Amino acid sequence: MEFEEIQAANELLNTPGEPRSGSGENQGALIRIVQARFPDKGFCIVQQWTIVRAIASDGDLTKIHVHGHLPLFVFAEKVILDSRGRFDYGNWVRSTMAISFQDGFLFETKNTVYVLMGDGDEKSARLAAILSLYQ
């Protein structure tokens, strides 16, 4: 990883974003909502989350959209419940790129719906900086 990528990744992780609100519903209500709307998909309820909007070239954005994605990722510091048991309570998690983002709290990826509970924030970062966190 180059120095600029390390610097950008550090900035992404350590600077505050714009405040956002997820769902204020309790865990039971959120489970019912996500199971009704996405009955065949696993879900992960998270708190202390950040939506990261990728800054990308027009060409990269075209590729992202052609593949049915949105240039959005979610990073969460606290897992509350993972329906498939992949992540333990209290662990952190990062998503793959979104395919939909509904009602300000249902962040859908190809395999999982991340249910954004409580308050979080939103940031923008270069796509390369975001992807460097996955290496």
Per residue in 90-111, pLDDT (tens digit) is: 999 999 999 999 999 999 999 9
Burial label, 50 (beta-carbon count in 10 A; 0-12, 13-18, 19+): buried
Smallest Cα–Cα separation from 130: which of 44, 69, 40?
Answer: 69
Q: What one-character-per-residue DSSP string does 21-34 give?
A: E-B-S-HHHHHHHH
pLDDT single digits (tens) 22-78? 999 999 999 999 999 999 999 999 999 999 999 999 999 999 999 999 999 999 999
State how far the Cα of 27 lies from the Cα of 18, in Å rounded to an integer: 25
Categorize the per-residue pLDDT at 114 as very low, low, confident or very high, splitting at 50, 70 and 90: very high
pLDDT value for 8: 63
Average pLDDT value for residue range 3-23: 77
pLDDT at 133: 79
* 1 pLDDT above the threshold of 60: no
User: How many whole angstroms separate alpha carbon 12 and alpha carbon 84?
Assistant: 29
Q: State the pLDDT at residue 24.
A: 97
> What's the pTM value of the predicted model, to 2 decimals?
0.90
